[in-house]
Structure 1
Amino acid sequence: MSDVSYPPFNFIDLFAGIGGIRTAFDGIGGTCVMTSEWDSYAKTTYTTNFPSDEGADHIFNGDITAIHETRVPDHDLLLGGFPCQPFSIAGVSKKNALGRAHGFQDPTQGTLFFDIKRIIDEKRPAAFLLENVKNLKSHDRGRTFQVIKDSLEKDLGYHVQTRVVNGIHWTPQNRERILIVGFREPTAFDFEAMKVPAQGPKVESILHRKGEAELPHDEGRFFNPRTGAVNPKYTLTDRLWAYLQTYAQKHKAAGNGFGFGLVRPGMTTRTLSARYYKDGSEILVEQRGKNPRRLTPRECARLMGFDDSFVIPVSDTRAYKQFGNSVVVPAMSAVAEHMAPHIGAALASDEPAA
């Protein structure tokens, strides 16, 4: 985060998860006036890490579909990482296999974009930032994305730009996401001009190590700081490790790319998913003389760019789901800094002349 200061602004945090996008915009002087997140476990993590929200100046709403747009507080910026399962490769494959609709035919998640649309239409914020999986752009041969873009540009009249950003420039994880930025008025904002680091860190930067300071809110839950030994419960059982190897060999023989992702300290990882709690197969840490292990939830937090002050108050299973559904925080911080002067300029133009 730079030392540049920008004018203060208010924002709302929709489909907030555990607050990854919100963290970035807090960092450039924003004040969150409303949060919406329906999952009660994610809410526990969110409210634990943003305790200052408890007060008259902040609203926490569980179900965005149940709040009328006129009840949403006035805000300068709308943030929304709307549910991606209907558009992700894994989500579409699963729904097809089950014979269920996906995208805008999904009767629940797929229509949540329109809750964003109705709020923007009513409140007319100066800007918005929406986040989703890269596959959103190609879903249904591009028709889904075109509906979204037309809704924002033609129906609402916003000036929209998109960019696919890969978290690997900031953390050791290959994680591509599409970001959609819109401004109500014309601006000099150029998404393609946003600078990204040439190379990010490697896996060794997130792993527990001997002599690492123990975090008081972790209380020895994940590893032994004296020895550096990770809790043995994260090491795969012989049965699970044998299954994953057999599964990988079967798909390799069939010419498929499915299999586990084994990493060493000097490498980068695949994308952390919300299903990581099941077997950890997409990111397994090699261990000398032992079966590989899953990342601990603290290591997952670091992989997503959350600093060690971030508290993990939920079970491992819930934590894996939450980090797998979150965003790469330093990538969002780069976007926030790139947007900041243009948000400031938009707010300045809204002020009445003296």
Structure 2
Amino acid sequence: MGNVAELFAGVGGFRIGLARAGWKTVFSNQWEPATKVQHASDVYVARFGEEGHSNEDIAKVESLPKNIDLLVGGFPCQDYSVAKTLNSSKGLKGKKGVLWWEILRLVHQQKPKFIFLENVDRLLKSPSNQRGRDFAVMLKTLGDEGYTIEWRVVNAAEYGFPQRRIRVFIVATKNKAGKKRGTPESILSKSGILARALPVEKIVEYLTEIELSDEADRISSHFNKGGGKSPFMNSGYYENGIAFTYKSTAKLSSSSMVLGDVLQPDSQIPDEYWVEDKRLKEWKYLKGAKSIERTHKGSGTTYNYAEGKMAFPDLLTNPSRTILTGEGGTTPSRFKHIIQTKNGFRRLTPVELERLNGFPDDWSKYDSNGKQVSDAKRAFFMGNALVIGLIEIVGKVISFDLKIED
């Protein structure tokens, strides 16, 4: 059984998935600087206890336990997330983006055998004036610590899960003298950790090499200067100053879950989740296609703001859309889910949102003091969470490789 350190732990998605894969989490850190009450950490402690848990700014975490085999984390992504436009993304220079350097500091000290990170796929394209720069700096700096790195943009629904949650998985393996790794093509398609865990069907575009031999500060100032298309595609491998990347498609699961599979019976749904008929018109408008003339406040220039049509209601026969942090609350929204059952239209409950990510029912219902967490906050947790089943699958492959090394 390998030992795990979990950074940016949230309510414990990585820990649950890795426990199912045979790992033991011996250290965790969760800190939200924007709030006085540490809701996510409180839920984490309620579920796992206080032993080995740190609820403080990661910059204050001086070191990790000495026996860490795997370092994991879904590091904060507000600077890259689709919650903001790419032009407003701040990337590594942003307030939360600098937390990458805290991860790197702990990696430098501890040098775990494996690292498993998760982020929004926009990371590969950030920032807008140097697309791909942030990811290039991450590859370079982590590689300089003695790691080879794989990445893959993963849509959970393509591997059988009931949510179309798209994230980039980054897996790093500590270099070992004399170890033969194979060609980049074979690693990306067959022998790599991500290729074995989440098989690819075919290569859509040919392999491209990206030279990253410069120092990180020069890469930061010069990489893809001018804002052209990011050279990083949805699959890739980094070793010794060179990134190899191509576009691949997933080998689809033979069986898949859909939104309808996670629903609670209507008899269990609280009244506040049912949408009144008088509010349906507002929901329909927000979900519909629209073209609106607007005026820029600064320049006075008029422009056309357009939105495409979204499904109304959300189809129960398909995987759900990605859960966002604003999923909670009764206010109609373009981005919240709304479904129709035989008894009418309603929003998704916290339990249904937990199921879409693979959490046990009511996982986030209580904090460490036994106090019930608000439904809006529980929805926020799930918008920040990950699909646990994917973590379990990747965790099993990393565990297999750890046993071989030991």
Q: Same fold (TM over 0.5)?
A: yes
Q: Does 1:22 align with 2:75?
A: no
- Alpha carbons of 1:275 and 1:151: their partners in 2 closer, same or farther (altered >3 Å)? same
Work out the CA distance in 1 between the residues paired with 2:397 and 2:348.
Answer: 32
Distance 1:258 1:150 in 2: 41
Residue 304 of structure 1, CA deviation: 0.5
| Residue 262 (structure 1) aligned with residue 313 (structure 2) | yes
8 A contact 1:206–1:302 mirrored in 2: yes
Distance in structure 2 (CA, Å) of the matches to 1:181 and 1:128: 6
**2:355 is the counterpart of 1:302:** yes
- State how far apart, in whole Å, the 1-side matches of 2:275 and 2:164 are: 23
CA contact under 8 A between 2:364 and 2:378: conserved in structure 1?
Answer: no
Q: What is the TM-score when the length of structure 2 is the normalising length?
A: 0.70
Is 2:129 aligned against 1:144?
no
The number of residues matched between the two structures is 310
Q: Is the Cα contact below 8 Å between 1:132 and 1:177 reproduced in 2?
A: yes
1:66 corresponding residue in structure 2: 60
Mapping for residues 204-215 of structure 1, pairs under 5 Å: 204-209=260-265
- SS across alignment from 2:132: helix
Other-structure match for 2:322: 271
In structure 1, what is the Cα distance between the partners aligned to 2:319 and 2:291? 21
Give yes or no for contact 1:34–1:61 (8 Å, CA) kept in 2: no
| Segments of 4+ moved more than 6 angstroms | none
CA distance 1:150–1:45, change in 2 (3 Å)? same
Cα distance change of structure 1 residues 229 and 74 upon mapping to structure 2, 3 Å threshold: closer
Q: Is the 8 A contact 1:33 1:73 kept in 2?
A: no
Computed over aligned residues only, the root mean square deviation of the Cα atoms, in angstroms, reads: 2.4
Q: Which structure has more helix as a fraction of its residues?
A: 1
From the superposition, tell whether residues 192 and 29 of structure 1 become closer, same or farther in structure 2 (CA, over 3 Å): closer
Alpha-carbon separation, structure 1, partners of 2:312 and 2:73? 30
1:318 aligns to 2:344 (yes or no)? no
1:79, CA displacement in angstroms? 0.5
Offset from partner CA, 1:21-45 (integer Å, 9 cap, x none):
1111122322212111014110121
Q: 2:45 aligns with which of 39, 44, 47?
A: 47
If the length of structure 1 is used for normalisation, what is the TM-score? 0.80
- CA distance in structure 2 between the partners assigned to 1:261 and 1:67 by the alignment: 46
Q: CA deviation at 1:260?
A: 6.1
Partner amino acid, structure 1, of 2:403: G
Provide structure 1 residue ranges, at least 5 long, that are not aligned to the other structure. 1-7, 210-222, 349-354
Structure 2: which 5+ residue stretches go unaligned?
Answer: 33-37, 182-190, 200-252, 293-304, 367-372
Say if 1:167 and 1:173, in contact at 8 Å, map to a contact too.
yes
CA distance in 1, matches of 2:312, 2:325: 16
Match of 1:126 in 2: 113
State the Cα distance separating 1:72 from its structure 2 match.
4.8
Question: Percent of pairs identical after alignment?
Answer: 27
User: Among residues 259, 262, 277, which one is paired with 1:203 in the alignment?
Assistant: 259
Pairing 1:330–2:389 present: yes
Residue 115 (1) aligns with residue 102 (2): yes
By how many angstroms is 1:258 displaced?
5.9
Q: Which residue of 2 aligns with 1:212?
A: none
